[in-house]
A and B are shown apart, each in its own frame.
Chain A
Amino acid sequence: MQPVQEIFLILLTVYIILGTVIAMVSRRFGVKTTADYFVAGYRLGGFLASMTYAATTYSAFMMIGLVGLAFATGIASLGFELAYLMATMGILALIGPVIWRMARKRGWVSPSEMLSDLYGSNILGIVVAVLYLVALIPYTAAQLKGIGEIFRAVSTSYSIGIATAVGLVLLWVFIAGIWSVASTDAYQGIWMISASIAVVVWLLMVLVPNAGLNASGIVNVLGNTSSGNLLSNTWSPLVFIGYTVPWLFFALTNPQVVQRLYMPRDTRAYKRMLQYFISYGILYTAIVIVIGLAFRAYAVTALDKGTELYLIGHRDSVTPYMLTLANPVLAAFVFVSILAAAVSTANSIVLSVVSSITRDLYERRRSTPSPSVAKAVAMTSIVAMTIAAAGIALAKPTFIVELSVLSSALLLPLAPVILMGLARRPSRAGAISALAATLLGFSMILVAAFIIGARKALIVAWLGIPLPLWCLILTTAMVLASSVRWSR
């Protein structure tokens, strides 16, 4: 067994034991109702709320997907990710407090329940719960794929990585629901940021200087690569808009992060959640992009052309390959941090989707719902969703970035629906229009993804406008048209 394998297995064992202990301890907070299980009884403090928001948002997408994207396509990937962060700041500052206040007042547990309540339509809640289940399978699969890539890099099997990820997600979700997820998120979020700082320090202080490059050397090399000048515009407007539009509304359309807006215990905790998350987001994004770009400069200078081209074509392998050049202790530490990022996002997604299924398909449809049946529905959904995501991860249909953005594109029609629901009290006609807009937008992206693949579905254009933007324009028009009719 190689040193990196041995250290990885030791750290992985430590990580699993620590996470399980934290999850077990978190049970003492009490899980008596579904509100306790899914939204921590609206009692999370600012630090825990911010760390669970950050760990849920930042996933294998960052240290594997975004590092690879920056390596292959350059600085435009920073604009893409920072556009998300700016949009999220705006949403959390302006719309988040409204959602937080209404969630406590009306007792919302799931994001689909929020829509159901805003529009006074049970059917809308049920449809959205099912759409969450379908739409977030690619995003969950992206996390499992990230873990599979790590296991492959340490010379273990890709499929063993997927199986380990599935086991961890199920274990921590089953132990104590959101309390264990939020507690383990805080611990995983700290591990993720520490590991990324360690990598960037190693890269800039050891690896890149060993190739004879300093800061100006990196800039010079990146200006003249086989992919063009990676410090200038390498993305066409079509690609930039196609990828960025679904990402701009991530904080509003993805249930796992919307649900986190319900959880802070008071306004002070909400403010701290936002401020800590912003600081975390800027730091983590900048580090990840610097890693991708600096390693590309190293690859151009010190690796053979064939390896560089292979990594450009297999960008999810960039980080695992880079870490094979590091000290085994650092490599193992970072591998486990990526696993932590992927697990923390996957279990949050699963828990959030299952809360929608349980609330909207069972509890809210019964006058006296049975806790044991609700639990059985939740557990069955958790297992079904995790297994479906594992199947896709094993099939490896595309890169992590594309799988992740595809999920947000499928949920994009919910952006105007949620905004309109919060802004006005929609009538029955409004609910029908919201339902039609949601189904139309979702179907457009889903059909395109099946026919031409996830990546092309994001950039295929008609009249020069990429499909995700068409989806947003059409669904917004439908929701607005219906709104004009209510006011008459």
Chain B
Amino acid sequence: MALHYIIPFTLLREVRGFELFTFWTALVVIFAIITGIYVERR
């Protein structure tokens, strides 16, 4: 919830050129890579 609402809508909203689409997509891709590696090594 913090990553998806509080950070983008409170902390980052004033950042110049900030795009929610980019933020969320990058966040999920990074999370997916970490999850994939974690599961593979487990």
Contacts and interface: CB of A to CB of B under 8 A. Distances in A.
B24 A278 contact: no
B11 interface: no
Interface stretch (A50-58, A140-148, A237-245, A388-396): A237-245
Interface stretch (A77-85, A165-173, A448-456): A77-85
B16 interface: no
Given A85-B28, A275-B39, A244 B21 contact: no
Report, as a range, how many residues of chain B touch the other chain.
20 to 34
A85 B36 CA distance: 13
Main secondary structure of the interface of A (DSSP, over half): helix
A97 B42 contact: yes
A279 B29 CA distance: 9
Interface in B1-21: 1, 3-5, 8-9, 13, 19-21
Contacts of B38: 93
Given A79-B4, A83-B1, A244-B4, A282 B20 contact: no
B35 A79 contact: no
A127 interface: no
A275 B36 CA distance: 6
Nearest to A233: B9
Nearest to B20: A75
Contacts of B4: 79-80, 82-83, 86, 240, 244
B14 to A, nearest CB: 11
B36 to A, nearest CB: 5
A89 interface: yes
Interface string A251-294: 00000000000000000000100110011001000100100000
Contacts of B9: 233, 237
B13 A79 contact: no
Contacts of A289: 21
A358 B13 CA distance: 52
Nearest to B31: A86
B29 to A, nearest CB: 7
Contacts of B29: 282
Interface in A95-113: 97
B10 to A, nearest CB: 10
Interface string A13-44: 00000000000000000000000000000000
Contacts of A90: 35
Contacts of A226: none
A279 B21 CA distance: 17
Contacts of B13: 232-233
B1 A244 contact: yes
Contacts of A79: 4-5, 8, 20, 24
Contacts of A286: 25
Interface string A58-94: 0000000000000000011011101101100110110
Interface of B: 1, 3-5, 8-9, 13, 19-21, 24-25, 27-29, 31-32, 35-36, 38-40, 42
14 contacts: A75-B21, A78-B21, A86-B3, A86-B27, A97-B42, A232-B13, A233-B8, A233-B20, A248-B1, A278-B35, A278-B36, A282-B25, A282-B28, A282-B29
Q: Kindly list the 8 A-B residue pairs having the minimum CB-CB distance in the complex, ordered from nearest.
A: A83-B4, A89-B35, A75-B20, A278-B32, A233-B9, A79-B4, A82-B28, A93-B35
Given A75-B21, A93-B35, A289-B21, 12 more contacts: A82-B4, A82-B24, A82-B25, A93-B42, A231-B21, A233-B9, A244-B4, A248-B1, A271-B40, A274-B36, A278-B36, A286-B25
